[in-house]
């Protein structure tokens, strides 16, 4: 549904799948983590940042513990979380700093693990650049009293 622009329906289905995975397999099973990642994609597409941040704060800790820091799913969750922080119009300067810090650690790790030819490597790098730009603009506006 998400691929054809039916984001609300995709979100509903992904919520059901994630809930079902948690009940059947628990939060530490890789399928549950993948369902959380898919749900996070839908939440980001619909700009539902509060729920997205809450979901990823919880599941990223599990992914780090179960899958490890260098696992693609852990890195994707951290990337999604950082995107949620800097794409939110209500983000604080601290949120933006956290996004830059998170992407600043994810981007080089992503490149080391997957290489510069991986199709998502430029996307992660671009997210870091975008987060830095948003932070710089917001910090400048804040210091000028705007």
Q: Which pLDDT band, with edges at 50, 70 and 90, does 134 fall under?
A: very high
Q: Can you spell out the DSSP letters for 61-98?
A: HHHHHHT-TTSHHHHHHHHHHHHHHHH-TT--HHHHHH
Q: Is 87 exposed, middle or buried (0-12, 13-18, 19+ CB in 10 A)?
A: middle
Tell me if 76 sits within 8 A of 107, measured CB to CB.
no
Confidence (pTM): 0.89
In this predicted structure, what is the pLDDT of residue 120?
Answer: 93
What percentage of the chain carries pLDDT values higher than 90? Answer: 86
**Which residue, among 112, 132, 104, has the nearest Cα to 72 in the 3D structure?**
112
**Could you tell me the pLDDT band of residue 146, with boundaries at 50, 70 and 90?**
low
Nearest residue to 75 (alpha-carbon basis) of 4, 127, 28, 27: 127
Is 145's pLDDT higher than 70? Answer: no
Report the pLDDT value the prediction gives residue 6, as an integer from 0 to 100: 79
Q: Which of 6, 58, 65 is nearest to 37 (CA)?
A: 58
55-111 tens-digit pLDDT: 999 999 999 999 999 999 999 999 999 999 999 999 999 999 999 999 999 999 999
């Amino acid at each position: 549904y998400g691929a054809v622009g039916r984001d609300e329906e995709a979100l509903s289905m992904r919520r059901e799948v994630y809930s079902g995975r948690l009940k059947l397999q628990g939060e530490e099973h890789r399928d549950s983590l993948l369902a959380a990642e898919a749900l996070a994609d839908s939440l980001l597409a619909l700009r539902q940042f509060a729920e997205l941040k809450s979901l990823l704060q919880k599941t990223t800790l599990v992914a780090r513990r179960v899958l490890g820091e260098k696992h693609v799913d852990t890195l994707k969750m951290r990337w999604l979380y950082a995107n949620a922080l800097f794409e939110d119009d209500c983000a604080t300067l601290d949120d933006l700093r956290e996004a830059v810090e998170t992407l600043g650690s994810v981007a080089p790790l992503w490149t080391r693990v997957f290489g510069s030819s991986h199709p998502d490597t430029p996307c992660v790098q671009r997210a870091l650049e975008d987060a830095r730009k948003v932070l710089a603009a917001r910090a400048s506006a804040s210091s000028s009293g705007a």
